Chain A
């Protein structure tokens, strides 16, 4: 994850909700920004990891359809990666 935090995210919040978030941040020994960022990242990751539908933009849909229509071919990068020696062994 990038450690250079150069982008800002501003959120308007009502006082009660802010207090709630501050209390929770205190309880987990984090400052408010760190707490909100961690909770939101967690949720973002979960949403993306379990999508039942992946919606493609027009250009992506076109490119993907073109790829599907091609005859199957060996993926050289994949072949090279799978062929690389491993630093462990399976116990059977």
Chain B
């Protein structure tokens, strides 16, 4: 069975990302060229799963965001603030040579646990993802994510509420 290190923040000095290949060129390019720099500019944090030798086999980029619901009908807007703090899981990619082992799901599980922790400390009401295409959208939906626009088949933004993540993790005894 494949041995992997638990998710950890990307360390350009220790992690080898040169041969990473997810099949999504934009995601591969970003990991190789921009991920380290981004950390310094504080726009996104990169978490990786690596082999014991340090080769990156999966990564996720995380950023804080705000869900703006000011477009809601007035009755809703009155009940609560327009802006809801959330965690944006902007990128998720797994090396295609290790596809199907559940590494992507395990990395998402780590991010979801992070959201629960953030919510306890500073309010983080949801985790948001963007599906780059229809296949990605159905992957997220299989994980339980909900499209923001429930009836629009072209909707690419999906979310999980932190409250349901918490309830689900508690149910699993994690």
A residues at B contact (CB < 8 Å): 1-2, 38, 41-42, 45-46, 48-65, 67-69, 72-79, 81-92
CA of A91 to CA of B133, assembled, Å: 33
Check if B163 sits within 8 Å of A72, measured CB to CB.
Answer: yes
Q: Are A86 and B125 in contact (CB under 8 A)?
A: no
Number of A-B residue pairs having CB atoms within 8 Å of each other in the complex: 191
Closest chain-B Cβ to A62's Cβ sits at a distance in Å of 5
Number of interface residues of B (CB under 8 A): 77
Binding site for A on B (CB under 8 A): 1-6, 24-27, 29-30, 34, 43-44, 52, 61, 63-73, 76, 79-80, 83-84, 86, 88, 90-91, 98, 100-103, 105-106, 109, 112, 125, 128, 130, 132-134, 141-144, 146, 148-151, 155-157, 159-161, 163-169, 171-172, 174
Q: List 5 A-B contacts (CB under 8 A).
A: A49-B30, A49-B91, A64-B69, A88-B106, A91-B52
Say yes or no: A61 contacts B61, CB within 8 Å.
no
**Least Cβ–Cβ distance between B40 and chain A, in angstroms:** 14
The listed residue (B26, B63, B157) touching A45 by CB distance below 8 A is B26
Contact assessment for B68 and A56 in the assembled complex, using a CB-CB cutoff below 8 Å: yes
Collect the chain B residues with CB atoms within 8 Å of residue A76's CB: 144
Measured between beta carbons, the chain A residues less than 8 angstroms from B106 are: 86, 88
CB distance from A47 to the nearest CB of B (A): 10
- The answer to whether B80 touches A88 (Cβ under 8 A) is no
Q: How far is the CB of A35 from chain B (nearest CB, A)?
A: 12
Q: Does the CB pair B88–A51 fall under 8 Å?
A: yes
A54 adjacent to B102 (CB under 8 Å): no
Chain B nearest CB, measured from A86 CB (Å): 4
Contact A65 to B80, CB < 8 A, known contacts A77-B143, A84-B102, A88-B4: yes
Q: Is the CB of A79 within 8 A of B143?
A: no
Question: Is the CB–CB distance between A90 and B172 below 8 Å?
Answer: no
Question: In the complex, given contacts A38-B26, A42-B25, A42-B29, what are 10 additional A-B residue pairs having Cβ atoms less than 8 angstroms apart?
Answer: A45-B26, A45-B132, A54-B67, A62-B76, A65-B72, A67-B161, A78-B160, A79-B144, A86-B102, A87-B2
